Amino acid sequence: MYSIKKNIYNSLIILIPTKAFYEMEEQYDFFDRELSWLSFNYRVLQEAMDNELPLYERIKFMAIYSSNLDEFYKVRVASHRSLLELPKKSKDKQKLNPEKVLQNILHEVEMQQEEFYNLFEQVILPQLYENDIVLYQSEVIPEIHKDFVSDYFFREVLPHIQAVLLEKGHIFTFLQDNFLYLSIKLIKKRKKLSTKKVKPKYAIIKIPTNYVPRFLELPNLGNKHYIMFLDDVIRHNLHEIFPGYNIDSSYCMRVSRNADLMIDDEFTGNLAEKIKSSLSRRETGSPTRFLYDKDMPDDFLDVIRNSFKIKKIDLLKGGRYLKFADFFGFPNPLSPKLEIESVHHLYHNELDKSSSLLKIVREKDIALHFPYQSYNYVIRFFNEAAVDDKVEEIKTTQYRVATNSAIVSALISAAQNGKKVTVFVEVQARFDEQSNIKFAKMMKKAGINVLPGIPGIKVHAKTALVIRRGTKDGKKKGYAFISTGNFNEKTAKIYADHGFFTSNEDIISDLEKMFYYLENPKKTVEFEHILVPKFNLRAEFERKIDREIENVKNGLTGYILFKMNSLQDKRMVKKLYQASENNVKIDLIVRGICVLMPNQPYSKNITITRIVDKFLEHARVYVFYNNGKNDTYISSADLMSRNLNRRVEAIVPIYNEKIKKEFIDILEIQLKDNVKARTLDTNLQNIKKRTMLKKNIRAQVDIYNYLKQMLF
């Protein structure tokens, strides 16, 4: 279906569709991947528009929307921009049509940005004011605040200010990725009156948010609380920075840059060292977006564009204030008022009553559901293995590790206690490469066998394996933890994921084979129970879909229920279309990218549900009805081409019927959600579900109550 080609300009790996693939595309329609993702991000923005949510929860969703869009430009837009550099006659360029894709992206983003800033200016700011919180904009501030701001500026801000005049013939400062800049138009002060027109000068200042918080809380006046952007703190003191000039105007701007690491060859050699040496080049990648205040006059913009070689294709209009991801840190002087009520973690009675988690897992499988239940059990699993005298070996994968990770500390303790510890640290985890390299060094220094990166393949599986000698017979027994999310105790508080403890010998045997492959990537292994890309995943999923089709043809029920973050692999989508054409009912819960187009003759039996709520829906669960047997798998793998072709994933079967029902019950609650769930239509619109249910079902609330009732 695909041939792999490497872009000679930045080493981006591009999957080039084959002739057979395009013949398939002519038969079916697919959503554009990028527009599908933008549809998801707009769903995030819809949460910020929800009047039913507390005000600071809505502000948080604005920050999420902005942060998501930043990464989209650094990664996805960057990849299409790189294709523009291919020769015009390039067949690949003609097929992928990056010009059209970028044009469609710009059109959609501009519409969303307009709604975003209207929401902020016309809804959020007035509602803050109604709650006695004043976020200063361009209004005149009282003297008491002027003095406070001036003192703060000289004491905390000025030491970090570097002003640069933009003059022809001079080398201009480099606009760094992810930083805000203030561009200023200056008029030279003159001692004598003159009719001669003074030519303006221009300057820029990097807003030092790496040293000073973006928001400054000012003294209260009466019962009102006052907050000011750092941008405006600087604006109010520009005359101190440029004493010989009158300040004509100032506008915010920022640039996003290509986040590709530009590795010359990721298929050979020491990948970790190549990534380490290329990290510094990320900050100097080519621009993918130049975001600027829409009120900046054209002649002012032209000066900036010419000074920094900004292309028209990079331009995107924003508001007076940019980089809304900083609103994650927006102060709430009334906290906890205006915030969403925190959820108290549910504890697991059986695990709490036992002094040994490993003992319980030896006797039965255990499922956990985060963040509804405490992640401390996972940390306890690693800590117990680290000090248990009979534990001989620990093997695990690490993808995105928490700062000051308790799990890494446990692994180091295990090594220091004489255990054989093997850890595969994926150094290709985007934006976490530096952190992962640091942890890899730390673990290696402690005596842990840290496996190097596998060239051309990313290890995305979230698995841990503990090998222990039996107390009585001395035989070795395996204990495993499989997760749909990262081994990260911090993100486990906000990501909705599943965890699974088991000592099932069939699963343990296959996990041992997977770790053997990670240590010996040139070897071939055979998996009998877990599904692994490159080995058996795609073939087995296709076989199971075909089985559902055959069951329908034989007068039985055919049903598929999948939950994932993204559905992008068109070959897999084609199989789902074929199943729908053969009257297999398919329910998909897809949070993000979804190229499958509903409501077509070939997709009439498929529904797509998208849930965006307080917690990020991050779990992947795959259920094939199989005439009532419900073959159920959990994984960290989405149905993306990269997951199915170029990653090491572990898609693990659930054999325990009680736990299998637990997973399916949770999925069915999500399908019934009529508060936060949306269905996708043929225009990629997020349509609120119409339901015959008389009561509201909000999945994340009802799942919490379901687990609470089940556990107590």
* Domain identity same for 513 and 369: yes
* Domain identity same for 39 and 165: no
| Within-domain flag for 315 | yes
Q: What is the pLDDT of residue 284?
A: 58
* Domain identity same for 110 and 165: no
| Within-domain flag for 525 | no
Question: Domain boundary at 329, 362, 383, which?
Answer: 329
| Within-domain flag for 475 | yes
Which residue range forms the structural domain that includes residue 239?
A: 135-329
| Within-domain flag for 529 | no
* Domain identity same for 18 and 164: no
Q: What is the pLDDT of residue 450?
A: 86
Question: Domain boundary at 82, 117, 152, which?
Answer: 117
| Within-domain flag for 531 | no
What's the pLDDT tens digit per position in 367-382? Answer: 999 999 999 999 999 9
Q: What is the mean pLDDT of residues 581-609?
A: 97
Q: In this prediction, what percent of the chain has a pLDDT beyond 90?
A: 71
What would the DSSP string read from start to end of 141-175?
A: --HHHHHHHHHHIIIIIGGG--EEEE-TTSPPPP-
| Within-domain flag for 127 | no
Which CATH number do you get for residue 268?
3.30.1840.10
Q: What is the pLDDT of residue 92?
A: 65
Q: What is the pLDDT of residue 374?
A: 94
* Domain identity same for 55 and 175: no
* Domain identity same for 509 and 569: no
* Domain identity same for 399 and 479: yes
State the Cα–Cα distance between residues 169 and 305, nearest whole angstrom.
Answer: 15
Which CATH number do you get for residue 82?
1.20.58.310
Cβ neighbours of residue 131 closer than 8 Å, sequence gap 6 or more = 55, 334, 337, 338
Which CATH number do you get for residue 487?
3.30.870.10
Q: What is the pLDDT of residue 194?
A: 61
The pTM assigned to this predicted structure is 0.89
What is the count of structural domains for the chain?
4
Residues forming the active site: 460
Q: What is the mean pLDDT of residues 546-571?
A: 98
* Domain identity same for 96 and 166: no
Listed residue (467, 462, 512) closest to 482, CA to CA = 462
Listed residue (618, 379, 371) closest to 485, CA to CA = 618
* Domain identity same for 395 and 435: yes
Name the pLDDT band for 458 (thresholds 50, 70, 90): confident
* Domain identity same for 172 and 321: yes
| Within-domain flag for 678 | yes
Cβ neighbours of residue 176 closer than 8 Å, sequence gap 6 or more = 206, 255, 283
* Domain identity same for 153 and 254: yes
Q: What is the pLDDT of residue 79?
A: 86
Cβ neighbours of residue 334 closer than 8 Å, sequence gap 6 or more = 131, 132, 133, 225
What's the pLDDT tens digit per position in 312-334? Answer: 999 999 999 999 999 999 999 99
| Within-domain flag for 335 | no
Q: Across the chain, what does the average pLDDT equal?
A: 88
* Domain identity same for 443 and 471: yes
